[in-house]
Each structure stands twice: as C-alpha cells, then as structure tokens.
Amino acid sequence: MKYGILGLVVAAGWYALATPLPSNGPVEQERWNWRGRLAEGKTIEIRGISGDVVAEPATGNEIEVVADKRGRRDDPDEVRIEVVEHEGGVTICAVYPQGRRARRPNTCEPGGGHSSTDNNDVEVDFTVRVPRGVRLDGSTVNGDVEAMNLTAPVELSTVNGSVRLETSAGDARATTVNGSVNAVVRSLGERSLRFSTVNGGINVSLPSNLNADLEARTVNGSIQSDFPISVSGRINPRRLNGRIGQGGRVLELETVNGSIRVRSLP
C-alpha cells in the first residue's frame, strides 16, 4: 500500500483527496474525499459494488463524498474512485482493476457503466452529504443503502442488502433482491413510486392525502394498508390492485418472500 497523499485534483470547483487510514491488524485501509457543488435539481450518483452507501443531509450547499476502502488480500489502492461530470450532475464510482478474464474494461459512466470485482476483496463504503434540493441516485451490489432526511428525489438500489430512505420530496424509488425496503416519502410527487425486493418485506409511509393507483404483489406474505382502497378485480390477499384517493400516479410494491405494509403519515 502507498502512503502519503495519494492524489489531489482541483478543477472547476471540484477537489478530491486520498489519504491512508490507520490499520489495526492485517486489513489495509484508505480514505478518499471529494467536495463539490451542484445546482438544485441536479443529481449526485454513487456507484459501488462491494460496500455500503450511506447518505445524509449536508450542513451547507456543498456535496461531500467520503469513500473508505479496505482489503485483506488485495490492495485498496488498486480500486480507484472515479469522478465524472456531466450535464445532469456528477457520477462517482468505485472502479476495480480489470481481471484477466474480463471481456470488457470497467468504466464509470452517467447512469451506469460497467464494473466487476473479479474476486478482488476490497470493500468501499461511501458516505455522501447531500445539500438541499440535490437529487441522489445511489447503488451498490453487496451492501446496504441508506438515505435519510433528504429533501429531493431519491433512487436507491442494491442486490444483497437492505434499503432505507426518507425524503421530504415526493419522488422515490428503491429496489433490492435479498433484503428489506423501508421508505418514508413525506410529500406528494409526480413520478411513479416503485419499491421492490425478492427476499424481504416492504414498508412504505406516505402522506395521508395520497392519490395513487396501487399495484401490490407478494407470493409468501400479506398486504396491509392504512389507506382505504377501491379494489379493482378480485380480492386476493397476495395481489392487490386498486385506487387510493382519486388515483393517479402509480404506487408499485412487489416482493416474493415478505409482507407489504403501506402506512399513512400523521
């Protein structure tokens, strides 16, 4: 592992800094920092693979991203954190070294890109401080994703981990495969609300004056709602289509092994 200041880049108002962390035992660690600003309505994207993504409100109008890298067998310095500026905002990715058998290079691109760990054991935990009005799009593969007390639309995803979010905006989406989804959306919005998992429950809390077309499905679990629902079609304890309030935007909730609960905020 390399020691000392690993890199400092200053351009167009952005800067990033990587420094080693103290390590107790065989785990090597490294911390990477980035700061920058985005206008309200723009998006900060975080793309991880192995490790958690945690977002919280910023105290000012500057975004701060901290990436803590750690590895036992592999060197954290081999996993670079890449920053891509684009018209919609900024995308920040953990980019792993390309494996010998890889057919295509690992890349960081707005909205996605391609990346594989290829058995590299380095984990990267992201902490993001998000200013008021800035959108968050955060994802990982093996890890939990959490975004609490934000003020703009949120979209989160993982594969092996749970998802928790809370926003005072009206638009949010979350998905996982092995884990639960817990969401609190405190305002009315326009986009469809979509929350899904395969192995886990879904708990969603929404404004009491919600108007939505509900589509809720589970295989092994139950469906409960605090809202009165005008049911469309047959009444089925594991599949529910209906209208909340006047209807309108879609509220889609889907799991296989877990229950669904729709709560009304006070």
The arithmetic mean of pLDDT across residues 224-250, rounded, is 90
- Confidence band of 21 (pLDDT split at 50, 70, 90): low
- Confidence band of 105 (pLDDT split at 50, 70, 90): confident
The arithmetic mean of pLDDT across residues 183-192, rounded, is 95
Give the strands of the sheet with 181-185, arranged side by side.
7-11, 14-20, 28-36, 63-71, 123-130, 53-57, 145-150, 163-167, 181-185, 202-206, 260-264, 223-225
- The least confident of 9-18, 74-83, 239-248 is 9-18
Backbone angles phi, psi at 168, to 5 degrees: -85, -5
- Confidence band of 195 (pLDDT split at 50, 70, 90): very high
Tokens of 187: 């305002």
Q: Is the pLDDT of residue 19 over 80?
A: no
Q: How many residues does the chain have?
A: 266
The arithmetic mean of pLDDT across residues 197-205, rounded, is 98
Q: Is the pLDDT of residue 53 over 80?
A: yes
Q: Is the pLDDT of residue 84 over 50?
A: yes
The C-alpha atoms of residue 47 and residue 68 are separated, in whole angstroms, by: 14
- Confidence band of 20 (pLDDT split at 50, 70, 90): low
What pLDDT sits at residue 101? Answer: 67
What pLDDT sits at residue 98? Answer: 79
Return all residues near 189 (Cβ < 8 A) that are at least 6 apart: 153, 169, 170, 171, 172, 249
Cα dihedral sign, 228-233-237-242: negative
Tens of pLDDT, residues 112-169: 777 778 889 999 999 999 999 999 999 999 999 999 999 999 999 999 999 999 999 9
The C-alpha atoms of residue 226 and residue 222 are separated, in whole angstroms, by: 14
User: DSSP secondary structure string, 38-51?
Assistant: --TT-EEEEE-SBS
Distances (CA, A) of 249 to 189, 193, 194, 210, 218: 8, 8, 11, 10, 21
> In 10 A of CB 258, how many CB atoms?
21
Q: Could you tell me how many helices (H) and strands (E) the chain has, helices first?
A: 0, 23
Q: Is the pLDDT of residue 47 over 70?
A: yes
What pLDDT sits at residue 44? Answer: 98
The arithmetic mean of pLDDT across residues 74-78, rounded, is 93
The arithmetic mean of pLDDT across residues 243-260, rounded, is 97
What pLDDT sits at residue 17? Answer: 53
Where do the domains of the chain lie?
A: 1-133, 170-266
pTM: 0.87
What pLDDT sits at residue 117? Answer: 82
Question: What's the chain's average pLDDT?
Answer: 89
